[in-house]
Amino acid sequence: MSGSGTERPTIAVTMGDPAGIGPEVLLRSVSSGMAAGRAELVVVGSARAMSAWAERIGVELPSEIIDVGDAPAEPGRPTAEGARAAVESVRRAADMCLAGDVRAVVTAPVSKAAISSLGDEFVGHTEYLARLTGCADYVMTFVHGDHRIGLATAHMALRDVPGVLTPALILSKLRALDRGLRAWFGVADPVIALTALNPHSGEGGRFGDEEEVVIGPALSQAADMGIDARGPYSADAIFAVRGESGGAIPGHDAVLAMYHDQGTIPSKLIAGGAGVNVTLGLPIVRTSVDHGTAFDIAGSGRADHRSMGAAIALATEIATRLGTG
């Protein structure tokens, strides 16, 4: 394996839950040539499960697999063994990246419910990796081309969002987004547009006051730190138009949405099946697909591997940029 400073960065790709579509989209990305080119790929997962998937869909198994232990690979039938192997794959890949053995991690989808059933509190990859790496400022960000949408809050009930949103939380996400845009995407002077939480930006307090008492103070603090963050803008307006300079909504390099579906719905509409989930702020480069395990279609041949191919390509691009910067 090659670490930092190489022309072809080595990237670890986790298998995901072996009962879902993760192994399939990984293998199809590799076999189709979509993931080939400027990186060396190392698969981290159950060798038994990956071999079974390769045989099932009729593709060659990648040459290098870091085996994390036995796990069955029955499509649509998640197991405790599979969940254990899935989360161990993520932990092992992150450790490899922290040690400098690989320069980026790409994760296939896992089942939050299956992993949580093991007794390990698992909200999602983003939160797990932040905890594993001791990262305080991080932001889940969905990327397609120059469209970048970060989330202020992510995996939680919608009813809990207003109580969780604070100026400190939003400022933390803005810091991670601003730094990530500069370092990982090469944006010299990022402009970040913030969505409002409430319809019509609260309509002067009639539909809620979070825009004034939460988002407004966060924007003021961000400005004091040299972060160019603007808003809040009504979500239906910011996502309806890209935001040309000089218009009511300024040209921007990223959007920070206030809750999960507010950001992921437009992201998936924009990406059309080829979006990438990036965790900005981590001390390691991590990208992922923008979809779940899809147990219901696993093994049917209907899984779309474009997002996995895009995730590997973006991880390669970022790792290369950081290695030559």
The β-bridge relationship of strands 104-107 and 286-289 is parallel
Q: Which two tokens stand for residue 67?
A: 């085996």
Same CATH topology for 1-135+282-325 and 141-271: the answer is yes
| Model confidence band, residue 215 (pLDDT cutoffs 50, 70, 90) | very high
| Model confidence band, residue 246 (pLDDT cutoffs 50, 70, 90) | very low
Percent of the chain scored above 90 by pLDDT?
Answer: 82
Query: Does a cis peptide bond (omega within 30 degrees of 0) precede residue 232?
Result: yes
Ordered alpha helix ranges (H), 19-124: 22-31, 47-57, 80-98, 112-116
Angle between helices 216-224 and 167-183 (to 10 degrees): 50
Phi/psi region, residue 33 (left: phi>0; alpha: psi -120 to 50; beta: rest), is left
Measured from the Cβ of residue 207, the count of other Cβ atoms closer than 10 Å reads 15
The CA distance from 90 to 84, in Å, is 10
Q: Is the pLDDT of residue 237 over 90?
A: no
Architecture in CATH of 141-271: 3-Layer(aba) Sandwich (3.40)
Burial (CB count <10 Å: 0-12, 13-18, 19+), residue 276 = buried
Q: Which tens digits make up the pLDDT trace of 16-62?
A: 999 999 999 999 998 887 666 678 999 999 999 999 999 999 999 98
pLDDT of 241 reads 56
pLDDT of 186 reads 96
Domain ranges of the chain: 1-135+282-325, 141-271
Q: Is the pLDDT of residue 5 over 90?
A: no
pLDDT of 247 reads 46
Superfamily of domain 1-135+282-325: Isopropylmalate Dehydrogenase (3.40.718.10)
Q: Which tens digits make up the pLDDT trace of 87-120?
A: 999 999 999 999 999 999 999 999 999 998 888 7
pLDDT of 324 reads 61
Which H or E run includes 130?
A: helix 125-133
The CA distance from 34 to 29, in Å, is 5
pLDDT of 220 reads 98
Measured from the Cβ of residue 136, the count of other Cβ atoms closer than 10 Å reads 9
Residue with tokens 């690979």: 73
Q: Among the ranges 1-5, 81-85, 237-241, which has the highest mean pLDDT value?
A: 81-85
Mean per-residue pLDDT of the chain: 92
